[in-house]
Amino acid sequence: MLAEISILLLSAFLFVYYWFRVQYSYWDRKQIPSIRPSLFFGNLKDLVFMRKASSDIFADLYNNPIGKNSPYIGIYVFHKPALLLRDPELIKKVLIKDFNSFQNHYTYLSPHTDPIGGNMLFMMKTPMWRDLRQKLTPFFTSGKLRNMFPLVDSIGDKLDDYLKSLSSNSSPIVDLKEVCSLYTTDVIASVAFGFDANSLNEPNGDFRRNGRKIFDFHLKTAISFFTAFFLHQLSFIIRPRFLTQETSHFLVKSIDYAMAERKKSGVARNDLIDTLLQFEKEGYPKNVIVGQAAIFWLAGFETTSSVMTFLLLELVRNQEIQDKLREEIKEFLIETNGKFDYDKINSMEYLNMVVQESARMYSTLPFLDRECLEGYQVDEELHIPKGTPVFVPNFGIARDPKYFDEPNKFDPERFHPSNKQFIDNVATMPFGTGPRSCIGERLGLIQVKVGIFNFLRNHKLVANEKTVKDVIIDPMALVVTMKGKMYCDVVRDTMVDL
């Protein structure tokens, strides 16, 4: 009996082994440069074992000498052949010009395993995606953002008050990464949900507590994100969820409450809640309605707070850049007498340069993914079939010396208006590009700008012995976030008394 079982197991193993070998010869058979995969894991073994962050994995694949002179490299996502794009012109074709063939993300989260998460815009497939994207886009016009600006600005004021309370404390030990998350949580709660989440004063309030749970990257969340991004074929076994049942209930409850209040008041605010009420009228299922609120919340606070945290760290490390930015803030405060709007803050040239440089160096989503919707002729040599995953390693590209001198140096001057013409617009794409790019780009940017402005208007940030020396990107997180905490001294230094 034992002998029979052993033979059976061995045969099964040999069959699987042989099947993988055949899969892994796919790019060789097409004579496309490809990187040797590891058995079962393809080219993602270090990601599976969390030995490297996804930003490094995709940057290493991009920099592999095998692809040096090629516009693309063949890789394997577990068993599946996938294409990693290297050439800017080809990237533009896939993301913009030939977008119709690449409308979907490869990422997929099933609404059966996560009823709210699986219905978020990011996860949606066309034509449902196209329909919802069109209806959500008006929420982000410049006009809407101008109207929203006072809400963001008032949270910025609260941030300044919060920092004041810290700096008056003789030995404050505060993790600025957490402070950024409190601020961005409050902004999203206010502009999207119409709530005063007040996380800056109550860091354990409902919004922050639930948000923390989603982005607290322990093994279970890492496996869920990982499955959705790379191995959704196994969703029926792993059953990934971005939102736990508890978080989903919290969101449903919050949205129900906000929608009921809006109906009662009858006053339109032209915000997300009004858009969701319209969806309700049009007969969209409840999970689709709450799913859109969920993506605003998920995509809106962690990405933005991550960009802010890295930016603050760079300002602490580069005091001369911080001083120059504070000088611009001082002049701006004098000129505006502390009263400004969306357009005015967007006109701050140096603030803009600093934000763009930080977003370049630390692209929050280190790779963009698309799925080939129908067969696509990449060039004369290569045709890819329907369903092929295609990746753009934007973190690696943004740190390629071919596009940026000394790419690991934080240098806002690259984005000076007189230098910007030399930058290829796909060399730095922190928000992606084309019809499927980040819908919240303008909101994200204004959140970051108002946040940084308020961090510096009355405070200086100075390194102390607990400030991180080397940035380590959390290998458990698929988004680019700093591992550990971000400590520094917050020193009160009022530049203009208003």
Which is nearer to ligand HEM, 311 or 378 (by Cβ)?
Answer: 311
Please spell the DSSP secondary structure of 2-55, one letter per residue: HHHHHHHHHHHHHHHHHHHHHHTTHHHHTT--BPPPBTTTBT-HHHHTTSS-HH
Window 423 to 442, contacts with ligand HEM (CB under 6 A):
430-432, 436-440
Pick from 214, 221, 215, 223: nearest CA to 49: 223
Contact flag: residue 135 with ligand HEM (CB under 6 A): no
Binding window for ligand HEM (CB under 6 A); candidates: 155-163, 283-291, 301-309, 490-498: 301-309
**Which of residues 299 and 312 has its CB atom nearest to ligand HEM in the complex?**
299
> Under DSSP, is residue 218 helix (H, G, I), strand (E, B) or coil?
coil
| Token pair for 132 | 């919802």
Least separation in angstroms between residue 192's CB and ligand HEM is 6
Task: State how far Cα 216 lies from the chain centre.
Answer: 15
Task: Give the separation between CA 390 and CA 102, rounded to whole angstroms.
Answer: 9
Q: Which is nearer to ligand HEM, 325 or 446 (CB)?
A: 446
Which residue number, 190 or 458, has a Cβ lying nearer to ligand HEM?
190
Give the nearest distance from C-beta 295 to ligand HEM in angstroms: 4
Q: Which of 27, 76, 122, 410 binds ligand HEM (CB under 6 A)?
A: 122
Q: Tell me whether residue 32 or residue 478 sits nearer to ligand HEM (CB atom).
A: 478
Question: Contact letters (x/-) for ligand HEM, 40-79, by CB under 6 A?
Answer: ----------------------------------------
Residues 360-399 that bind ligand HEM (CB under 6 A): 364-365, 368
Residue placing its CB nearer to ligand HEM in the complex, 61 or 438 = 438
115 binds ligand HEM (CB under 6 A): no
The Cα–Cα gap between 430 and 356 comes to 9
The count of residues interacting with ligand HEM (CB under 6 A) is: 24
For 482, the 3-state DSSP assignment is strand
Q: How far is the CB of 25 from ligand HEM (least distance, A)?
A: 30
Residue closer to ligand HEM by CB (options 189, 384) is: 189
Q: Between 41 and 99, name the residue whose CB sits nearer to ligand HEM.
A: 99
Q: Measured from the CB of residue 442, what is the shortest distance to ligand HEM in angstroms?
A: 9
Q: How far apart are the two ends of the chain, measured CA to CA in Å? A: 87
Contact residue for ligand HEM among 304, 352, 454, 481 (CB under 6 A): 304
Q: Using the minimum distance from each CB to ligand HEM, give the nearer residue, 61 or 148.
A: 148
For residues 58 and 52, what is the distance between their CA atoms, to the nearest angstrom?
10
Name which of 73 and 299 has its Cβ closer to ligand HEM.
299
What is the per-residue burial (b if ≥16 Cβ within 10 Å, else e) of 175-212? ebbbbbbbbbbbbbbbbbbbbbbbbbeeeebebbbbbb
Whole-number Å distance between alpha carbons of 277 and 271: 10
Which amino acid would we find at residue 143? G
Q: Binding ligand HEM by CB under 6 A: which of 67, 74, 444, 475?
A: 444
CB of 136 to ligand HEM, least distance (A): 7
In the complex, minimum distance from the CB of residue 440 to ligand HEM, in angstroms, rounded to a whole number: 2
Q: Residue 370 CA to chain centroid, in angstroms?
A: 15
| DSSP code string of 349-368 | HHHHHHHHHHHHHT-SSS-E
Establish if 296 lies at the interface with ligand HEM (CB under 6 A): yes
Q: In whole angstroms, how close is the CB of 104 to ligand HEM at the nearest point?
A: 9
Between the alpha carbon of residue 149 and those of residues 213, 341, 350, 390, 442, the distances in Å are 28, 7, 20, 37, 11
Q: How many Å is the Cα radius of gyration of the chain?
A: 24
Contacts with ligand HEM by CB under 6 A lie at: 121-122, 133, 295-296, 299-300, 303-304, 307, 364-365, 368, 430-432, 436-440, 443-444, 448
